[in-house]
Amino acid sequence: MPLESVEHSPQYVILVIDDDRFVLKMFHSILSSKGYLPITASNGFEGYNVARNTKPDLILLDIMMPRMDGFETLQKIRTDPEISEIPIIIVTAKADTNTFLKALKLGANDFIAKPFSRGDLLRKIRIALKHGQQQGSKEEQLFPVDTTTPLSIETFIDNKTFPQLQKNFVRKFNDTFLKLVRLVSDKAKYDLRRELEHLKNACEYYEFNKAARLLEHALQLIDKEDWHNLVTVMDNLYTYFQSAHQVMVVNSKCDD
């Protein structure tokens, strides 16, 4: 797409940086269908230059790319005053806590793991664009998430409503996990313990018992300040909820 058309477009401009042509076409289709103006780059070096030339409203950035990977690209963008404030969502198949920690330390605002649902992607894009408009401080968390025990715990929930509440909880877990990773990155022991206790209570209420046990283990590791093994437990927690999400997607299709 010519740069001239980008500069004069009233739409949100979203730059997608990924070395997979199929992925670029997929993003182009999804974004265009929702009225966004997508532009693409096939590697980090090209993506950085396109970002400087177009000043997009949002960047979707892959991690594993040739020539200049996503981490290098992210660091280069964040150290360039001309484009350092652009919101960046990491889009990666390498979904583990260490990857998220490194990305957050380099300045990523959010992440989404491949494969992802169209709905999750568009939701994260809407939130990122909204916060980009507000121009909050760098220190402000992009996605403040309340992980306290839900108010519905004090009410009687019927058998049809409860599964939907479970689905909503699982769908929002990525945002919750991002907040936890930030706290692990900062080694904010007391804040992290408080958030994990809230999340554990919520998991017990929503009957995600394995997740509750993982969180109990995580709390014990925090007391020991065993950050290395805590990261492993966080990986297991993330994998658990990714699997739960996939199962719910499959079950929803079967119900249809």
pLDDT in tens, 52-88: 999 999 999 999 998 899 999 999 999 999 999 999 9
Range with the poorest average pLDDT among 95-99, 113-117, 251-255: 251-255
How would you class 5 by CB atoms within 10 Å of its CB: exposed for 0-12, middle for 13-18, buried for 19 or more?
A: exposed
- How is residue 199 written in tokens? 């999340």
Range of the domain at 199: 151-255
Q: Are residues 7 and 123 in the same domain?
A: yes
In a domain, 140, yes or no: no
Is 145 within the bounds of a domain?
no
- Mean pLDDT calculated for residue range 35-48: 95
Side by side, the strands of the sheet bearing 88-92 are 37-41, 13-17, 58-62, 88-92, 110-113
Q: Is residue 48 part of a domain?
A: yes
The pTM for the full model equals 0.65
Q: Looking at residues 175-184, what average pLDDT do you find? A: 87
- The number of distinct structural domains making up the chain is 2
State pLDDT tens for residues 209-218: 899 999 999 9
Please indicate, yes or no, if residue 146 is contained in any of the structural domains. Answer: no
Question: Is 64 inside any structural domain?
Answer: yes
Task: Tell me the CB-side half-sphere exposure of residue 198, using CA atoms within 13 A.
Answer: 18
What sections of the chain are H helices per DSSP?
Answer: 3-7, 21-33, 44-54, 70-78, 97-106, 118-134, 161-171, 173-186, 189-205, 209-224, 227-255
